[in-house]
Amino acid sequence: MLFANWPVVSGTAFVLALEACAGTATGTVTQEEAQSAFLAAALEARVVFRIA
């Protein structure tokens, strides 16, 4: 989602989310850390979301 369909391509939270999501593939970032980074990027980009 971040790589292909994100409404912005800049911003601190966006870059941190990209790095965090990539870090899950190498095991250097936990799923929870990546989720937090992704949600921060969503807030920064004003993407509407709902936590279930």
The pLDDT tens digits along the chain (52 residues) read 898 999 999 999 999 999 999 999 999 999 999 999 999 999 999 999 998 8
Structure confidence at residue 52 (pLDDT): 83
Structure tokens at 33: 């850390």
Cα(27)–Cα(43) distance, integer angstroms: 25
Please give the pLDDT value at position 30.
97
Helical H segments across the chain, by residue range: 12-26, 31-45
pTM above 0.85, yes or no: yes
Residue 20: name the closest of 2, 4, 47, 8 by CA. Answer: 2
Q: Is 7 in contact with 45 (CB distance < 8 Å)?
A: yes
Residue 29: the pLDDT is 98
At residue 45, the pLDDT reads 96
Tokens of 18: 């990209």
